[in-house]
Amino acid sequence: MSAPCLILDDGFRWTGAVTAHEILHMALHRDPAQLSAESLQTLLEQGDASWITRQLVEKNQIFDNFTALLLHDTWSVRLGAMVIVEDLCESAPELAARLCPILMASFDEKDIPVKGDILYVLGLAGDEDAGEWIRARLPSLDHRDLADAAQDALETLASKKS
């Protein structure tokens, strides 16, 4: 239904711009972990979040380019990625937890809306280390929305213990 559109026999589909290198690599190796952030974003936009979740779980790996979606400047892209994290927290919580160090390392360089979403994901996927990290940051969060997001994340982490 979209042009250009390329479909590889086992369900990989690209619409819009894609590099020849990515197509060739996918055709030879069939490794979804090698999909670009743009291709993953297209899958999200096409409503294929569950396919991405299944691939992450099957590979037992957080794809390098998946984290780019969680840190994306566009809210709708982050939202789609957060839906995947919510599913991972249900089906593979230990895999979801692997996102936390990456997100914590990226926190300072992001704008307030992205920081708020990082805190949300840390609450969902985090453990006691994430909680300590959030508590250490809380006094320096001078934006009210971030302070609220941090408190919400700490409450979510606390509810996971009980």
What percent of the chain shows pLDDT beyond 70?
Answer: 85
Give the 3-state secondary structure of the chain: CCCCEEECCCCCEEECCCCHHHHHHHHHHCCHHHCCHHHHHHHHHCCCHHHHHHHHHHHCCCCHHHHHHHCCCCHHHHHHHHHHHHHHHHHCHHHHHCHHHHHHHHHHHCCHHHHHHHHHHHHHHCCHHHHHHHHHHHHHCCCHHHHHHHHHHHHHHHHHHC
The pLDDT of residue 140? 95
In a domain, 1, yes or no: no
In a domain, 23, yes or no: no
In a domain, 30, yes or no: no
Whether 42 and 34 have beta carbons less than 8 Å apart is answered as: no
The pLDDT of residue 39? 84
In a domain, 19, yes or no: no
In a domain, 51, yes or no: yes
In a domain, 16, yes or no: no
The pLDDT of residue 83? 97
In a domain, 78, yes or no: yes
The pLDDT of residue 17? 72
In a domain, 89, yes or no: yes
pLDDT (average), residues 12-22: 70
pLDDT tens for residues 62-104? 999 999 999 999 999 999 999 999 999 999 999 999 999 999 9
pLDDT (average), residues 122-128: 97
Domains contained in the chain, number:
1
Q: Which domain holds residue 73?
A: 37-161
